Amino acid sequence: MTVTRTQVPEREQYVAEIDRLVNSHVLHGSESLCKLLRYLAEHALDHPGSSLKEYQIATEVFGRPANFDPQSDSTIRVQAGRLRLKLAEYYGSEGVDDPIQVEMPKGTYVISFHRREPSAAKVQSASPTVRPAEAISVGANSQKNWKAAFLFLLVVLIAGSTMVAFLLLRSPRAAERTSDPIPAAFSTFWRGFVIGPEEPWVIFSNGAFVGRPETGMRYFDSARDSRDHILEHYTGVGEVLAIHTLDHTFGTLGRQIRVKRGSLLSLDDVKNNDMIFVGSPAENLTLREIPNTQNFVFRRLDSGPRKGDLAIVNVHPQSDEAAFWVGSPFQADLVEDYSVVALVRGLNPAKSVLILAGTTTIGTQAAVEFVCQQNSLELLLSRLSVSGNGELEPFEAVIRVKVTRGVPVESDIVAIRNEKP
């Protein structure tokens, strides 16, 4: 009689795959995504074929109140999108050989389990790909040409070793000759973003659009548009140029940045990393969920000739300051814009949060350039407070931006607030 080993029940295999995902490097530190994944897996196993609503996930997984409105709060859609990306990343890296794959089709909140074929690498290693006759032929040719191949490889190795040695001896001296000293203003202003062990995150805005460029594209309107048709693949030219400027600045400081679009950001990310937000809360929606500016806030005007336009509202105006600042009307050429440059305390006080945002994409570009150019940065620092240990105290500032043919050409400070040490 032949005795065979009892196979593990299918459910236990699926649960084991979820455990592998939760304990993977890809999901390490993403507590909210792990919680969401376990919830969706349990629902799929206990209620196969049944769908889930955003409201149910929001209240049961993320502790949202009973008055949670999916139409105005995109938290669940953002978290689901991040989870899809993490699943794809996992099965393309450390989970490439897992026998089961977990998927969550776009547009749903239901996950599915699929059995996978062995990877191509394992199949190839398990079966010979060269027939005996071919092996004999290759061996014979190798016997004839081994001397020429050996001499060629020897020359290549000698040349390569000489070049490596030359570069190792030359590089430090070349760096000493070409590297310029970092301006003191850069070292002071960016200190909180370069002293940590991890690279800072740059979060750029990407507003919700419907339509396509070739057929007509516009901002998403919840009153008439379906969320199924939202596109998040577009962002302003100012944000693109701003990220390039930040990358160059941090390269000068000897650090790299990690770039991520706002719709994929989670509150866990904000807690665990230094953040630079590029773009206003009107499009960089995560800014609405974390501590933000208190003195100069982005708000759409609800009355007056500029009703509906995005403005920077002065919450506590001083005697010589305006109640709000708003750029050129959208019907006219953009010749003036206003921007906020602010360092605020975030969800984790040990981390730095910098907000660089304009009422338009050009204003956002100007805000970034203002803190990445020596002259304007020195002007800003002259009006800020620095603690005894060299750390910059939180502040909020508004800058006026002059624009010529879509390019910010001049910026100056019109209002500033320093947090009391």
Query: What CA–CA distance (Å, rounded) separates 258 from 277?
Result: 12
Domain 185-418 sits in CATH 3.30.379.10:
yes
Q: How confident is the model at residue 148 (pLDDT cuts 50, 70, 90)?
A: low
Tens-place pLDDT, residues 353-373: 999 999 999 999 999 999 999
Q: What would the mean pLDDT of 12-17 be, rounded to a whole number?
A: 90
Tens-place pLDDT, residues 232-281: 666 788 888 999 999 999 988 888 899 888 777 778 888 888 889 998 87
- Number of Cβ within a 10 Å radius of residue 148: 9
Predicted local confidence at residue 223, as pLDDT: 79
Predicted local confidence at residue 73, as pLDDT: 76
Q: What do you get for the CA distance between the two ends of the chain, in Å?
A: 82
Distance between alpha carbon 322 and the CA centroid of its chain, in Å?
34
Low-confidence winner among 16-20, 269-273, 307-311 (lowest mean pLDDT): 269-273
Query: What CA–CA distance (Å, rounded) separates 94 from 115?
Result: 17
* Dihedral sign of CA atoms 385, 387, 388, 391 in order: negative
Query: What CA–CA distance (Å, rounded) separates 256 from 71?
Result: 37
Helices 31-46, 10-22: crossing angle, 10 deg rounding: 170
Tens-place pLDDT, residues 99-147: 999 998 887 888 998 888 765 434 444 444 433 333 333 344 444 454 5
Q: What would the mean pLDDT of 215-220 be, rounded to a whole number?
A: 74
Q: How confident is the model at residue 171 (pLDDT cuts 50, 70, 90)?
A: very low
Of 410, 359, 361, which Cα lies nearest the Cα of 237? Answer: 361
Q: Which of 145-154, 160-169, 258-267 has the highest mean pLDDT?
A: 258-267
More confident residue, 38 or 281: 38
Residues 6+ apart with CB under 8 A from 95: 20, 21, 24, 26, 101
Predicted local confidence at residue 18, as pLDDT: 92
Q: Can you spell out the DSSP letters for 76-112? A: HHHHHHHHHHHHHHHHTTTTTT-SEEEE--TT-S--E
* Dihedral sign of CA atoms 336, 345, 193, 263 in order: negative
Please name the amino acid found at residue 171: S
Predicted local confidence at residue 118, as pLDDT: 61
Q: What would the mean pLDDT of 291-304 be, rounded to a whole number?
A: 88
Q: What would the mean pLDDT of 153-158 be, rounded to a whole number?
A: 48
Residues 6+ apart with CB under 8 A from 400: 325, 336, 337, 338, 411, 412, 413, 414
pTM over 0.85: no
* Mean residue pLDDT across the chain: 79
